[in-house]
Chains A and B, each alone.
Chain A
Amino acid sequence: MSKFLSLEGIEKRFPIPGKEDYIAVTDVSLEIKKNEIISIIGHSGCGKSTLLNMISGLDAQTEGAIVLENKHVQGPGPERAVVFQNHSLLPWLTVYQNIEMAVKKVMPELTTKELKERVEKFVSMVNLEHAKDKLPDEISGGMKQRVGIARALAIKPKVLLMDEPFGALDSLTRANLQEHLMRIQESVQNTVIIITHDIDEAVLLSDRVIMMTNGPEATIGEILEVKLPRPRDRVALQSHPEYIRCREAILSFLYEKFAKEDE
């Protein structure tokens, strides 16, 4: 398989006046295949969000290159859509308008009718037909995040970047959204990178789990392949030997090899 997205020797330094640079992330090299779902997991402060921001282009790497389909990533762009942790919906636009705004900008060639069809398709993909004319403040946190996902997918990105997408939600809502994401992924194949600190979420959703060592100078510690068949059922998985193996591998990485002391 040809290279789809590759990170080549990424390093991120933050200058500190009067001191040596703070090296947040160093020597991160990774190849991501098309339609692969990977999660990046690590303790807080391991630079996983910094890494995602560099892939999205919102932040520039100090060293190394990020190449998507043979093109160097320079700055943000709609082919790398981001689902932000706090959803980032514009509060003065309705659910429908939030998605419409993005589609209109990225696909200016669409006719009024095509635009409407596309927006409605993605509204219904996340089951929000009933709430499409509501403002973000009038819907629940889980629904907002679904709109965020719909908005990101509606602009047909090559890569979907999710920065702790369900981190701010309660565990039941989180499970519900994970189901949504898996169901959507089955119909619209996508390359997805998820930042998470939730072990179950990482195993349930991913093809590969990237485990980051602790910062400063964080890097990739181990990469775990999750060889579970899809569609995955969270209840049935609990006793699946592969699921248990993956969970244990991540647990031992995070709490034995790279345990983090409370500061």
Chain B
Amino acid sequence: MNSELLKKLFLPVLVFMIIIQVWATIATLVEEFPTPADTYVAAFGGVNSLGDEVEGVLSDPFYIENQDSKGIFWQILASLQRVFAGFGLAILVGVPFGLMLGMSKMAHYAFDPFIQIFKPISPLAWLPLLLFIFQDINMTAISTIFITSIWPIIINTALGVKSVNKDYLNVAKVLQFTPMEKITKIILPVSIPYIFTGMRLSLGIAWLVIVAAEMLTGGIGIGFWIWDEYNNLNYHNIIIGIIIVGVVGYILDLIMGKIADYFDYRKKGRVS
């Protein structure tokens, strides 16, 4: 068998076992800290160390008992909806804005200082202000995501526009392209890989932000769920929540990466 493949499979398993071992050690040191075994039972159902029969969080993720008690699937879905609403808005505004910034020196001079100041502001700093403005959980979460995830899109789009080779623009000049043709036929094809890099970063930020935002706003969503389980003293569910957040984030990044590759001419994902 291919030894490289063997290493690829074997090494992660080894690291996984070490993580479980470290976790088990922490569980013996910290009182009431859930053991890996109990957490597994809490996730998939079975009999825990106290001898109780329990329903797993993941054994019925689709249940709806009432408005305040829904399965984990609905929590994740609610979070994803907010993430994509905020992320979508950030793309709609960020890409044209970035194009303008990259094409016009004046616009760059005018806006760059403010972008640099707004960019490092933590989503948690925006949250109270936005909550005050909208007085609505969904709007607050979506606008927080929008305002924190738009910066990488703007910055990378502008970078993409600036990376356009001057010779390509000379070709456009000789052929007398209109400004619109210049954007669609020269600037966008060059910038698309950069725009997607920005979008990928942005989606990562959006997923980070949602968990924190939902903890503060409450209602529904994976972030709220984790906080709720803390209040209910269900510590094993916090760990399950953390793992779910990680896995969903990884899947989002994977999908975004595939889409980015598809539109990147350098990777031969040719559109036409």
Give A contacts to B, CB under 8 Å: 56-58, 75-78, 80-82, 84, 86, 88, 90-92, 101-102, 105-106, 135, 155
List, sorted by A's number, 6 A–B pairs whose CB atoms are closer than 8 Å: A76-B173, A88-B171, A105-B176, A105-B177, A135-B265, A135-B268
A92 touching B189 in the complex, CB below 8 Å, given contacts A84-B167, A86-B167 = yes
Q: Which 8 A-B pairs have the closest CB atoms?
A: A92-B265, A88-B167, A76-B173, A92-B189, A76-B174, A105-B175, A88-B171, A82-B174
For B8, the chain A residues whose CB sits under 8 A away are none
A90 to B165, CA, bound (A): 10
**Among the interface residues B173, B174, B266, B268, which one has the most CB atoms of the partner chain A within 10 A?**
B174
Q: Which of A56, A77, A88, A135 contacts B176 (CB 8 A)?
A: A77
Secondary structure at the A interface, as helix, strand, loop or mixed, is loop
| Per-position binary interface string of chain B over residues 165-209, scored 1 when its CB falls under 8 Å from any chain A CB and 0 otherwise | 101101101111100010001100100000000000000000000
On whether the beta carbons of B176 and A76 are closer than 8 Å, the reply is yes
Give B contacts to A, CB under 8 Å: 165, 167-168, 170-171, 173-177, 181, 185-186, 189, 265-266, 268, 270
| A150 → B minimal CB distance (Å) | 14
On whether the beta carbons of B175 and A92 are closer than 8 Å, the reply is no
For B165, the chain A residues whose CB sits under 8 A away are 88
On whether the beta carbons of B265 and A80 are closer than 8 Å, the reply is no
**Among the interface residues A75, A105, A106, A135, which one has the most CB atoms of the partner chain B within 10 A?**
A105
A78 touching B174 in the complex, CB below 8 Å, given contacts A84-B167, A90-B189, A92-B189 = yes
| B171 → A minimal CB distance (Å) | 5
A102 touching B189 in the complex, CB below 8 Å, given contacts A82-B170, A88-B168, A92-B265 = no
On whether the beta carbons of B174 and A105 are closer than 8 Å, the reply is no
A56 touching B186 in the complex, CB below 8 Å, given contacts A90-B168, A105-B181 = no
For A135, the chain B residues whose CB sits under 8 A away are 265, 268
| B161 → A minimal CB distance (Å) | 15
Q: Which of A75, A91, A102 contacts B175 (CB 8 A)?
A: A102
| B185 → A minimal CB distance (Å) | 7
Q: Which of A80, A91, A92, A101 contacts B174 (CB 8 A)?
A: A80
For B176, the chain A residues whose CB sits under 8 A away are 76-78, 105
| B157 → A minimal CB distance (Å) | 17
B189 (CB) vs chain A CBs: closest residue: A92
For B175, the chain A residues whose CB sits under 8 A away are 78, 101-102, 105-106, 155
A80 to B174, CA, bound (A): 8
For A82, the chain B residues whose CB sits under 8 A away are 170, 174
On whether the beta carbons of A56 and B185 are closer than 8 Å, the reply is no
A105 to B171, CA, bound (A): 12
Q: Which of A58, A106, A155 contacts B170 (CB 8 A)?
A: A58
**Among the interface residues A56, A76, A135, which one has the most CB atoms of the partner chain B within 10 A?**
A76
| A184 → B minimal CB distance (Å) | 19
For B168, the chain A residues whose CB sits under 8 A away are 88, 90
For B181, the chain A residues whose CB sits under 8 A away are 105
For B177, the chain A residues whose CB sits under 8 A away are 105
| A251 → B minimal CB distance (Å) | 32
A16 to B186, CA, bound (A): 32
On whether the beta carbons of B174 and A56 are closer than 8 Å, the reply is yes
A214 to B168, CA, bound (A): 30
B271 (CB) vs chain A CBs: closest residue: A92
For B265, the chain A residues whose CB sits under 8 A away are 91-92, 135
**Among the interface residues A57, A58, A86, A92, which one has the most CB atoms of the partner chain B within 10 A?**
A92
B178 (CB) vs chain A CBs: closest residue: A105
- Contacts beyond the supplied A77-B174, A90-B168, A90-B189: 14 A-B pairs with Cβ under 8 Å: A58-B174, A76-B176, A78-B176, A82-B170, A84-B167, A88-B170, A92-B265, A101-B175, A102-B175, A105-B175, A105-B176, A106-B175, A135-B268, A155-B175
For B185, the chain A residues whose CB sits under 8 A away are 90, 101
A137 (CB) vs chain B CBs: closest residue: B266
A91 to B185, CA, bound (A): 12
A82 to B171, CA, bound (A): 8
A91 to B176, CA, bound (A): 20
For B174, the chain A residues whose CB sits under 8 A away are 56, 58, 76-78, 80-82
For A88, the chain B residues whose CB sits under 8 A away are 165, 167-168, 170-171
